[in-house]
């Protein structure tokens, strides 16, 4: 895998990023002839105060990680013995934005599903803005740092596409721009050009890694909320390709072969107990990927049982150790078509046609509105040089009308199913979970 500045991970959800105006809007209209950018001026992202934490933001960030593991567990029920990858943050962020369009009586249920019960929508907005400040390296851009510091391995793009016959709710559109850096665009969902335009937007914001997210739109679609994350970074300590060897991988479906990368170091971040071995592989620009090898080979079961609390306990149990890691190269791409049912199972109330909980909050017109579908396409590639990951989530809104101490030396051979958690550092939430997954067959 050639490491490039554009290597990345995508994730999808609801909305974010300053809405384009002026010549930027003209460029967008040129690239997407089926849509027009609606001009809204957005506020600057909120910079977390160094040395101090915002209590509500900390709680929201912890809830986002808890949501990440709960969503993964719900989706893994249908994964069987197949490989699996999801970007839960790409789902959490759009739902957090949609909190501002949700009717008041349904907000407590949505907050509980997001792991943010008892927190007000305004606090969630500020927490999301602070997260985006950290995750997108906003400080570097503001300071004009050189020597590559302005480059960030995690890029986040967000947009809401609204039917051109309708009027977006001004209050929601402004919050979306201010706190989620959201683009707002007008499309004609009756035209096949709308499908092409949304898919082109996904491709452009994932460096071409994901170019097919939606197949068609129901004519009664009033809005589509999309979020893309693009991640690419090199390992701080790269594997030597000359030491990669082909060997047996013991998959639940039977033995297969994989190409195992090898790394020997005196300073691994290593954890083990009676259930698992784990290493945390740092990326060159910060954050890392935690590789978790269950001793019973049930990676899906272990990941399904994880929570934000148990993840942080594991991270707190890491210590410096000398050892040798064998990790297979792997590449996963999947389309998560059961995202809607998983979100309903987690208690997200936005898919209920009878209550139409988005009525009055997303568009000005007095027609019932609710989420009708949600889909995510996600991919990840791990090799000797680093990791590339991408995910795009699109949610459609419709209407009827319109630990023991580690040994001195260890060996961790990932030749059976293993799980992974890709995380990035944030001020409020510490390690923010961005991707999770299971490798049952590399």
Alpha-carbon span 197 to 34, nearest angstrom: 6
One domain for residues 296 and 371:
no
Q: Are strands 183-187 and 154-163 parallel, antiparallel or unpaired?
A: parallel
Residue 27: pLDDT band by 50, 70, 90 thresholds?
very low
Residue 54: per-residue pLDDT = 80
Does some domain include residue 9? no
Cα 172 to Cα 27: distance, rounded to the nearest angstrom: 24
Handedness of CA 403, 404, 406, 410 (dihedral sign): negative
Residue 179 and residue 306 in one domain = no
Q: What percent of the chain has pLDDT over 90?
A: 72
Average pLDDT over residues 345-364: 96
Query: What would the mean pLDDT of 23-40 be, rounded to a whole number?
Result: 47
Per the model's pLDDT, the better-predicted residue between 403 and 249 turns out to be 249
Q: Does an H or E element contain 376, and which? A: strand 370-382
Q: Residue 39's pLDDT is what?
A: 67
How far apart CA 21 and CA 40 sit, in angstroms, is 7
Write the CA distances from 23 to 27, 29, 202, 320, integer angstroms. Answer: 6, 10, 21, 52
Q: What is the mean pLDDT of the chain?
A: 87
Tokens of 145: 């740092």
Q: What is the pLDDT of residue 404?
A: 45
Residue 97, token pair as written in the block: 């934005």
Q: Give the model's confidence band at 400: pLDDT under 50 very low, under 70 low, under 90 confident, else very high.
A: confident
CB 322 within 8 A of CB 266: yes
Answer whether residue 32 shows pLDDT above 50.
no
Q: What is the pLDDT of residue 16?
A: 26
Maximum distance among all alpha carbons in the chain? 67
Distance between CA atoms of residues 359 and 231, nearest Å: 35
* 305 & 367 share domain: no
Provide the pLDDT confidence category of residue 41 given band limits of 50, 70 and 90. Answer: confident
pLDDT by residue (tens digit) across 291-345? 999 999 999 999 999 999 999 999 999 999 999 999 999 999 999 988 999 999 9
209 and 276, same domain (yes or no) = no
Asked if pLDDT for residue 33 goes beyond 60, the answer is no
Whether 130 and 162 share a structural domain: yes
Quick one: pLDDT at residue 231? 96
| 157-212: pLDDT as tens digits | 889 999 998 999 999 999 999 999 999 989 999 889 999 999 999 999 999 999 99
In terms of domains, do 97 and 64 share one? yes
Task: Give pLDDT, residue 171.
Answer: 94
Identify whether the C-beta of residue 138 lies closer than 8 Å to the C-beta of residue 132: yes
User: Is residue 11 situated within a structural domain?
Assistant: no
Q: Residue 25 above 50 pLDDT?
A: no
| Pair (122, 178) in one structural domain | yes
| Region for 17 from its dihedrals, namely left if φ exceeds 0, alpha if ψ lies in -120 to 50, beta otherwise | left
Measure the CA–CA gap between 8 and 31, rounded to whole angstroms: 22
Residue 29 pLDDT greater than 60, yes or no = no
- Average pLDDT (84-106) is 97
Q: Does some domain include residue 338? A: yes
Instruction: Indicate whether 405 pLDDT > 60.
Output: no
Q: Is residue 101 part of a domain?
A: yes
Residue numbers of the domain that contains 369 = 22-234+332-398
User: How many residues are listed for the chain in this entry?
Assistant: 442
Q: Structurally, how many domains does the chain consist of?
A: 2
Domain assignment present for 14? no
CATH assignment at residue 169 = 3.30.497.10
pLDDT at residue number 151: 67
Q: How much is the pLDDT for 408?
A: 66
Query: What is the reported pLDDT for 43?
Result: 87
Distance (Å, whole) CA 58 – CA 225: 26
For residue 86, give every residue at least 6 positions away whose Cβ sits within 8 Å of its Cβ, in sequence order, or none: 71, 72, 75, 336, 376, 378, 391, 435, 436, 437
Question: pLDDT tens digits, residue range 209-237?
Answer: 999 999 999 989 999 999 999 999 999 99
pLDDT above 80 (res 5): no
Residue 379's pLDDT is what? 97
Give the pLDDT band of residue 410 (cuts 50, 70, 90): confident
Whether 84 and 151 map to the same domain: the answer is: yes
119 plus 169 within the same structural domain: yes
Residues 293 and 195 in one domain: no
Q: List the CATH number of the domain containing 297.
A: 2.30.39.10
Among residues 365, 382, 398, which one ends one of the domains? 398
Residues 254 and 297 both lie in one domain: yes
Q: Is 12 part of a structural domain of the chain?
A: no
Gap between the Cα atoms of 125 and 107, Å rounded: 14
Q: Is 82 exposed, middle or buried (0-12, 13-18, 19+ CB in 10 A)?
A: middle
Give the residue from 370, 373, 351, 372 showing the smallest Cα distance to 360.
Answer: 370
In a domain, 195, yes or no: yes
Asked whether residue 223 falls in the same domain as residue 250, the answer is: no
Give dist(CA 7, CA 309) in Å, integer.
31
pLDDT tens for 125-152 read: 999 999 999 999 888 777 765 554 546 8
pLDDT per position as a tens digit, 225-279: 999 999 999 999 999 999 999 999 999 888 899 999 999 999 999 999 999 999 9
Write down the pLDDT at residue 64: 96
The answer to whether residue 16 sits within a structural domain is no
Is 351 a residue whose pLDDT tops 90?
A: yes
**Residue 17 · residue 156 · CB < 8 Å:** yes
Q: Cα 232 to chain center, whole Å?
A: 13
| Whether residue 18 has pLDDT greater than 50 | no
């Amino acid at each position: 895998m050639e490491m490039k500045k554009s290597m990345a991970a995508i994730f999808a959800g609801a909305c974010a990023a300053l809405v384009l105006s002026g010549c930027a809007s003209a460029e967008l209209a040129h690239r997407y002839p089926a849509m027009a950018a609606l001009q809204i001026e957005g506020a600057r992202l909120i910079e977390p105060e160094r040395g101090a934490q915002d209590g509500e933001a900390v709680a929201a960030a912890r809830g986002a990680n808890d949501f990440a593991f709960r969503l993964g567990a719900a989706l893994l029920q249908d994964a069987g013995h197949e490989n699996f990858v999801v970007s839960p943050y790409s789902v959490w962020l759009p739902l957090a934005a949609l909190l501002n369009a949700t009717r008041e009586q349904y907000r407590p249920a949505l907050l509980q599903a997001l792991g943010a019960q008892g927190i007000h929508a305004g606090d969630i907005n500020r927490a999301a803005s602070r997260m985006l400040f950290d995750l997108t390296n906003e400080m570097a851009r503001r300071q004009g740092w050189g020597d590559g510091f302005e480059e960030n391995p995690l890029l986040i793009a967000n947009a809401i596409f609204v039917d051109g016959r309708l009027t977006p709710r001004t209050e929601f559109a402004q919050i979306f721009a201010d706190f989620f850096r959201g683009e707002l665009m007008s499309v004609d969902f009756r035209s096949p050009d709308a499908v092409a335009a949304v898919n082109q937007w996904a491709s452009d914001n994932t460096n071409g890694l994901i170019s097919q997210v939606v197949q068609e739109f129901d004519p009664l679609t009033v809005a589509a909320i999309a979020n893309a994350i693009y991640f690419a970074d090199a390992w701080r300590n790269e594997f030597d390709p000359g030491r990669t060897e082909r060997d047996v991988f013991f998959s639940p479906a039977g033995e297969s072969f994989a190409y195992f990368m090898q790394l020997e170091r005196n300073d691994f971040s290593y954890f083990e107990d009676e259930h698992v071995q784990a290493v945390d592989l740092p990326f060159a620009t910060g954050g890392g990927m935690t590789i978790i090898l269950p001793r019973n080979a049930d990676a899906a079961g272990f990941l399904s049982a994880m929570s934000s609390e148990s993840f942080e306990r594991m991270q707190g149990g890491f210590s410096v150790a000398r050892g040798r890691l064998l990790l297979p190269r792997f590449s996963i791409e999947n389309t998560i078509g059961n995202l809607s049912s998983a979100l309903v199972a987690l208690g997200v109330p936005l898919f209920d046609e009878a209550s139409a909980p988005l009525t009055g909050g997303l568009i000005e017109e007095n027609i019932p509105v609710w989420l009708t579908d949600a889909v995510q396409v996600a991919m990840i590639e791990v090799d000797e040089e680093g990791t590339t990951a991408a995910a795009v989530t699109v949610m459609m809104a419709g209407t009827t009308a319109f630990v023991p101490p580690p040994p001195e030396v260890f060996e961790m051979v990932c030749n059976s199913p293993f799980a992974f958690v890709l995380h990035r550092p944030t001020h409020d939430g510490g390690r923010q979970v961005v991707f999770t997954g299971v490798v049952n067959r590399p």
